[in-house]
Structure 1
Amino acid sequence: MLMGEYEHTLDPKGRVIFPAKLREDLGDNFIIAKGLDNCLFVYPPAQWQRLQDSINALPFSKASALQRFFFSGASEAISDKQGRVLIPANLRQYAGLDKDIIIVGASVRAEIWDKTKWQEQSARLTAETIENVMDELGF
């Protein structure tokens, strides 16, 4: 399971040292794609295949927009010996990644956020919002 919050910095080439704890679950090769709320989603290959299969099983009228969104900008990431991963320019631009970033574990995927956007997103999560969802889940 991917979990935790990690603060990192992009180098001038757009590389980041990916957290070792997340690399353990992701492996040396994983997929980086556009995510929701202008972050990036990071999937291990098996989970990416599940997402792909689920989208492709939808009727074309529903699948086409999702296929374009997720697959057009997706990129296979390969970590080097130092654990660095290159985030392609198109994905950095989509997520507004410049220098300071946050990488978070989100169960079956990780997410890469611009640090300021992450702080704004986190501030929107109120105790009331979380309580309502927990009630829906029966907790």
Structure 2
Amino acid sequence: MLCGQYFHNIDEKGRMNFPSKLRDELGERFYLTRWLDDCLVVFSEDEWQNICERLKTQSMARSRDIQRFLFSNAVTVEPDKQGRILIPSNLREDAGLVKDVVVIGVMNKAEIWDKERWTRMNESIDVKEIDDKMFELGI
């Protein structure tokens, strides 16, 4: 289970230290692509294969845009000996990543956010709405 938040910087070459706790869960190699809410997402190889299998069972009309959104920007990532990953410039641009980033664990995936964007998103969360949703889900 991926959880926690980790604050890091992106260097001038587009590399960032990826949290060791998340690397341990994700494995030696994982998939990085753009995601919802203007952030990036990281999936383990197993989870990526699960997504592929689920999309294969859907009609083309139903899954075409999802496939294009996820796969056209996806890259395989293998951290270097220092635990850094390279984030391609197109993905950094899509997520507005320049220097300060936050990596968060979200159950079966990790998300990479621009620090300011993450702060704004957190401030916009309506705790009452979350409480209502948790009640509906029986949490």
Q: TM-score, normalised by structure 1?
A: 0.97
Gaps of 5+ in 2: none
Distance 1:108 1:4 in 2: 12
AA partner of residue 134 (structure 2): M
Deviation at 1:138? 1.2
% identity of equivalent residues: 42
Deviations 1:82-117 (A, max 9, x none): 000001111111101000000000000000000111
Indicate the residue corresponding to 2:98 in structure 1. Answer: 98
Indicate the residue corresponding to 1:78 in structure 2. Answer: 78
Q: TM-score, normalised by structure 2?
A: 0.97
Q: 2:30 aligned with 1:30, yes or no?
A: yes
Q: Name the SS for the 1:63 alignment partner.
A: helix
When the two structures are aligned, how many residues end up with a matched partner?
139
State the superposition RMSD in angstroms. 0.8
AA partner of residue 20 (structure 1): S
Q: Name the SS for the 1:130 alignment partner.
A: helix
Q: Name the SS for the 1:117 alignment partner.
A: helix
AA partner of residue 6 (structure 1): Y
Gaps of 5+ in 1: none
Indicate the residue corresponding to 2:9 in structure 1. Answer: 9
Indicate the residue corresponding to 1:125 in structure 2. Answer: 125
Matching of residues 46-85 of structure 1 within 5 Å: 46-85=46-85
Deviation at 1:35? 0.5
